């Protein structure tokens, strides 16, 4: 089903070690509106969505895993040279004690990922509106991280991810309109 190319979807560069920025990025790694939740939500929803939209959910869900890989790379690069004291100063002391430098699916506040983040109602239009909301929340979060980041190299990658969220939201909006048209057509039996 998937073909893995051993490169990131978009290059990730960081200017300097910055554990505080890494902590903020954890929101997009293991948070409710992050890339893991999005990937799992879309790939799960495709089993109860009309055939004409399955491919869209598969494509975007798979791309979200590529975004997750980019976020993981960012966090790793921002923390790989950090001392335990720098991690503590950035609010990552608890993370360091539990995981050392390993990535763990939690949000910026340290709350672990939960399957409760994944929404699936079984109504195609309701699910797609949930997906639109998820993409818009992710877009807003990327913008807020860019706003507080002082790393121009990293911001380039973050802008790429923010723009992809906009594209995904637009694609989901198109799918909603397509399903509404089908729903509203007069059915003759």
35 among the known binding-site residues?
yes
Strand (E) or helix (H) holding 158: helix 152-184
Q: Is 168 a catalytic residue?
A: yes
Q: Which one of 168, 174, 177, 181 is the catalytic residue? A: 168
59 among the known binding-site residues?
yes
168 among the known binding-site residues?
yes
Burial class, 1, CB count within 10 angstroms (exposed 0-12 / middle 13-18 / buried 19+): exposed
Determine the 3-state secondary structure of 112 from DSSP. Answer: strand
Q: Is 165 a catalytic residue?
A: yes
67 among the known binding-site residues?
yes
Q: Is 95 a catalytic residue?
A: no
Q: Is 63 a catalytic residue?
A: no
Q: Which one of 27, 63, 67, 130 is the catalytic residue? A: 67
Q: Which one of 27, 35, 63, 130 is the catalytic residue? A: 35
Q: Is 99 a catalytic residue?
A: no
Let me know: does 63 contact 150? Beta carbons within 8 Å. Answer: no
27 among the known binding-site residues?
no
Q: Is 5 a catalytic residue?
A: no
Q: Which one of 63, 64, 95, 130 is the catalytic residue? A: 64
Let me know: does 55 contact 105? Beta carbons within 8 Å. Answer: no
63 among the known binding-site residues?
no
DSSP-assigned letters across all residues of 21-85: HHHHHHHHHHSTTSHHHHHHHHHHHGGGS-HHHHHHHHHHHHHHHHHHHHHHHHHHHHHTT--HH
Annotated binding site: 35, 59, 64, 67, 135, 168
Residue numbers in the known binding site for Mn(2+) are: 35, 64, 67, 135, 168
Residues involved in catalysis: 35, 64, 67, 135, 165, 168
User: Would you list which residues are annotated within the binding site for Ca(2+)?
Assistant: 59
């Amino acid at each position: 089903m998937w073909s893995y190319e051993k490169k990131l979807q978009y290059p990730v560069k960081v200017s300097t070690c910055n554990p505080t920025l890494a902590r903020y990025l954890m929101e997009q790694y293991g948070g409710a509106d992050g890339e893991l939740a999005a990937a799992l939500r879309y790939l799960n929803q495709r089993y109860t969505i009309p055939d004409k939209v399955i491919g869209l959910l598969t494509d975007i869900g798979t791309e979200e895993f590529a975004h997750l890989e980019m976020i993981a790379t960012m966090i790793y690069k921002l923390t790989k040279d950090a001392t335990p004291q720098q991690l503590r100063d950035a609010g990552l002391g608890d993370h360091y004690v539990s995981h050392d430098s390993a990535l763990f699916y939690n949000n910026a506040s340290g709350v672990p990922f939960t399957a409760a983040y994944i929404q699936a109602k079984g109504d195609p239009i309701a699910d797609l509106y949930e997906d639109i909301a998820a993409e818009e929340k992710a877009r807003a979060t990327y913008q807020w991280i860019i706003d507080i980041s002082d790393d121009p190299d990293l911001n380039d990658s973050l802008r790429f991810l923010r723009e992809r969220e906009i594209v995904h939201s637009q694609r989901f909006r198109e799918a909603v309109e397509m399903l509404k048209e089908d729903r509203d057509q007069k059915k003759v039996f």
